[in-house]
């Protein structure tokens, strides 16, 4: 994995959350339950092992879906040291939530997530159970995609927005000294003192980017949002949104080619940005950008096929640029630190166009 670029080491903890007020929309008779990963700036990481990119059972399922096996591919370790103490000297940490693509896994945003954590954010990646292709729960229980065929994206987004609201509620419990984990699993030392409920952002990729809009419409606690190349659905884009919002698109997608983005743009009444990453493709905004080139020979992908699916931009450069601009956006709107990168084109990043 691309190493984080922030100045802090990274800690990680996974939590099993059960929403006892809500039924699972995809499986009858079950309460809604989620797995989430928290990444944060840490101290004293020695003795705390680095979390895998995906747990072993869900990782094997993920590889099998690509026609690969654990014998062919070793999934990486993240930078997140499990249960390492939170770096409390930083004070309360602004929160950033992450929602991934349709039938994707929360791990798909790890490259961006752990970088934000290394810069001093508490970042929470959410798996949307039975929408995600695989979610591993405690006891090695694997839950797979059980979304009915023909489910409307607008309905899926309502479920995701409710998931995010529930996760924010769980963070609120932690900030008050509680433990929302279903089995009261051990929390990292210092976590309860470090959750800044007054500064919350959210970003997502693909359908997860669309989920940012629905989540912000549902929950006013989300102060700023960023959509990474996600088409929008339903009525949420047609409602005014006064909080800061970033549209961040691939080389062939922006509000000039996507009517749902144009609709949202006209209803963004606060700070708004529409950035385009030249040379990138839709999948460039996920961990597949750096992962698939390493697997290309096993998958039988030629250079031309890689460029068709992932764009012509160098994978490392694509990741670097996304990290820098996401951090600049959240630094400005969650920390009040103005970034000139958001004012207009930069000679350091000529791949970024400001769509006017």
For 234-258, write each residue's pLDDT tens digit.
999 999 999 999 999 999 899 999 9
226 within some domain:
yes
301: CB partners within 8 A, 6+ apart: 292, 309
93 within some domain:
yes
pLDDT of residue 356: 86
Q: What is the pLDDT of residues 38-58, one digit of tens each?
A: 999 999 999 999 999 999 999
228 within some domain:
yes
1 within some domain:
no
Q: In whole angstroms, what is the distance from residue 295 CA to residue 289 CA?
A: 11
Q: Domain of residue 206: give its range.
A: 9-354
3 within some domain:
no
Sign for the pseudo-dihedral over CA of 106, 255, 246, 271: negative
- What's the mean pLDDT in 86-92? 98
Six-digit token string for 254: 């922006």
Q: In whole angstroms, what is the distance from residue 308 CA to residue 232 CA?
A: 23
β-bridge mates for residue 135, sequence order? 143
* pLDDT above 90 coverage of the chain, percent: 98
318 within some domain:
yes
pLDDT of residue 189: 98
The CATH number of the domain holding residue 142 is: 3.40.50.1820
Q: Helix axis angle, 303-310 relative to 288-299, nearest 10°?
A: 150
- What's the mean pLDDT in 4-29? 97
Q: Helix axis angle, 315-334 relative to 110-118, nearest 10°?
A: 50
- What's the mean pLDDT in 177-194? 98
- What's the mean pLDDT in 279-284? 96
308 within some domain:
yes
- What's the mean pLDDT in 21-36? 97
Show the DSSP H helices in 110-152 as ranges: 110-118
2 within some domain:
no
> How does the average pLDDT of the chain come out, rounded?
97
For the chain, how many structural domains are there in total? 1
pTM above threshold 0.95: yes
């Amino acid at each position: 994995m691309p190493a984080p670029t922030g100045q802090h080491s990274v800690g990680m903890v996974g939590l099993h959350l059960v929403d006892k007020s809500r039924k699972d929309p995809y499986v009858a008779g079950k309460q809604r339950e989620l797995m989430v990963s928290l990444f944060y700036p840490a101290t004293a990481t020695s003795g705390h092992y680095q979390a895998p990119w995906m747990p072993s059972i869900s990782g094997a399922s993920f590889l099998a879906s690509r026609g690969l096996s654990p014998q062919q591919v070793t999934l990486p370790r993240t930078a997140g040291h499990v249960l390492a103490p939170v770096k409390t000297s930083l004070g309360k940490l602004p929160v950033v939530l992450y929602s991934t693509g349709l039938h994707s896994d929360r791990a798909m945003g790890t490259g961006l997530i752990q970088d934000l954590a290394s810069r001093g954010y508490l970042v929470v990646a959410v798996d949307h159970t039975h929408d995600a292709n695989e979610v591993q729960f405690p006891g090695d229980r694997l839950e797979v995609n059980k979304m009915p065929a023909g489910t409307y994206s607008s309905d899926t987004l309502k479920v995701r927005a409710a998931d995010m609201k529930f996760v924010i509620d769980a963070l609120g419990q932690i900030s008050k000294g509680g433990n929302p984990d279903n089995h009261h699993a051990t929390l990292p030392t210092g976590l309860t003192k470090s959750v800044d409920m007054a500064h919350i952002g959210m970003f997502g990729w693909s359908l997860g980017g669309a989920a940012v809009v629905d989540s912000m419409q549902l929950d006013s606690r989300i102060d700023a949002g960023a959509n990474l190349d996600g088409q929008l659905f339903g009525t949420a884009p047609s409602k005014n949104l006064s909080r800061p919002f970033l549209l961040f698109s691939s080389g062939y997608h922006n509000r000039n080619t996507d009517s749902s983005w144009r609709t949202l743009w006209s209803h963004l009444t606060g700070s708004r940005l529409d950035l385009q990453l030249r040379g990138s493709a839709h999948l460039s905004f996920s961990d597949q950008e750096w992962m698939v080139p390493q697997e290309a020979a096993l998958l039988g992908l030629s250079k031309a096929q890689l460029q068709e699916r992932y764009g012509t931009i160098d994978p490392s450069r694509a990741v670097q640029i996304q990290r820098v601009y996401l951090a600049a956006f959240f630094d400005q709107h969650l920390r009040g630190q103005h970034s000139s990168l958001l004012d207009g084109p930069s000679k350091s990043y000529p791949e970024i166009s400001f769509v006017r």
